[in-house]
Amino acid sequence: MSVVDEEFLEDGHAWEGPIERSWEQIEEDEKGEIRLLQLQDQKTKKRKLEQTVSGVVEKGMIRYMYVIIDFSSSMDMKDFKPNRRQVVMDLLEAFIREYFDQNPISQLGFILAYDKIAERLTELSGNPNEQIRKLRSRMKGTGEISIQNALELAKNTLSHIPVYGTREVLLIMGSLSTCDPGDIFDTMDDLIKSNIRCSVVSLAGEMHVCSELTKRTGGSYGIVLNQPHLKELLLSHVFPIPIDPRSANKAPRKWIRMGFPYQKTHPFQTLCVCHNELRFGGLFCPRCQTKFCELPTDCSVCGITLVSSSHLARSYHHLFSVPYFEEVQVPQQSLACYSCQVVMKPENNVAVKCSTCSKVFCVDCDVFIHTSLHNCPGCLSNVSTSKLLTPKFGTGSNRPSPAGLGGSLPQTSPSSSPTSNRPRTGSPAMLPPSSPSFP
């Protein structure tokens, strides 16, 4: 399936739309090389980016997500090559890496649903390599799926998550039916009380039960068109979505104590608590001196959350996102993208402009800036505008109070704390779980 008219898909079916003549998108440039006319594709990317880019809104920095995978016999169908199960497992590996890259202090877990039961494949953790390893070890499933059993298993774990974390469930469905032991609508009511958002990605078709599940819990429901669309739907759940300020179950803000471990190498091997292996070097908890190998993690001895400064920096990108770039007209004499220097022509390209630095970019760079870089190259190269982008949190009267900004700006621990006089590399800090909510 080639490029599909999205406006038509919202009101009708894909096979009822106009025929896509892909050969008309090919032209020969001045050097005799064949290239594609990507104007329509660029407009499609721009429309999708417009829906995802948001201003300064409240989002959950620490996410706890369970991915429920349909492992019933319906996943053995071969409408996706080689079959649905293999395609989903391959795309989930890319999803895991991208999820932890964009949410470094969040946690992820997997639940398999087959034979009318639910099995927890992995616990909630922040180790992508361990998640992928266990996911590759299971490639077979039989029987029917029970959505209720899978949701109950996820609810029993997520209901004990601290209130500062966002609780999410992503259901990947390949079946058109479910075999449940009780009333699944009672389970939906329990999910609403536990403030758990459920989203569904279906490879088969729409089900009324899944539609009601997403509507009641505030999630999204996506029906897969093809394999690229499946990847797009999965990656749409990588970025944290804004928290609804009107939600009745909105969690209160709460300060979180975190520690920044220091790295040290000994001349002799010592035991790490995460792998139970002897190693020379490692990362040591600033509170109890417990040795770990990877970050982020929770200290198994004192319970403090251990992170690094780069993890917090990548998490804050979602809270203060790059403003939306407005589309501008490409002049007749062509224009070069400020970032990649690609020459844009009015008949082939769509150009966008940053409202802060007035630099012009192509659509590909626009998508890369808002989804991966999280910084405008034009603003960073301009000294005057880069100073405006850096928040100034002074001391005394210049520092905004937690009450004025919803208690969401980072502050160090009080001086009365016994850990406040420790070195910076090993001192715990008080970090907020979500962004400020501006009027």
Mean pLDDT confidence for 63-76: 94
Determine if residue 148 is left, alpha or beta; phi over 0 gives left, psi from -120 to 50 gives alpha, anything else beta: alpha
- The string of pLDDT tens digits covering residues 203-259 is 988 999 999 999 999 999 999 998 889 998 999 898 887 766 555 445 566 677 888
pLDDT score at 203? 94
Threshold 0.75, pTM exceeds:
no
pLDDT score at 75? 93
Mean pLDDT confidence for 272-287: 87
Tell me the pLDDT band of 437, cut-offs 50, 70 and 90: very low
pLDDT score at 154? 95
- Whether residue 68 contacts residue 119, with contact meaning beta carbons closer than 8 Å, is answered with no
Determine if residue 115 is left, alpha or beta; phi over 0 gives left, psi from -120 to 50 gives alpha, anything else beta: left
- Whether residue 424 contacts residue 418, with contact meaning beta carbons closer than 8 Å, is answered with no
pLDDT score at 58? 58
pLDDT score at 314? 74
Tell me the pLDDT band of 300, cut-offs 50, 70 and 90: confident
pLDDT score at 366? 87
Mean pLDDT confidence for 361-371: 86
Query: How far apart are alpha carbons 431 and 429 in whole angstroms?
Result: 6
Which residues make Cβ contacts (< 8 Å) with residue 428, sequence separation at least 6? 257, 258, 259, 260, 286, 287, 304, 413, 417, 419
The answer on pLDDT for 40 being more than 70 is: no
Query: How far apart are alpha carbons 202 and 222 in whole angstroms?
Result: 6
Mean pLDDT confidence for 41-56: 57
Cβ count near 336 (within 10 Å): 12
Cβ count near 44 (within 10 Å): 17
- The string of pLDDT tens digits covering residues 315-328 is 777 667 788 888 88
Query: How far apart are alpha carbons 252 and 270 in whole angstroms?
Result: 41
pLDDT score at 436? 38
- Whether residue 29 contacts residue 345, with contact meaning beta carbons closer than 8 Å, is answered with no
- The string of pLDDT tens digits covering residues 82-132 is 899 999 999 999 999 999 988 888 899 999 999 999 999 999 988 888 899
Which of 85-99, 296-310, 410-424 bottoms out in mean pLDDT, i.e. has the lowest? Answer: 410-424
Mean pLDDT (the chain) is: 76
pLDDT score at 54? 53
Cis preceding linkage at 104, omega within 30? no
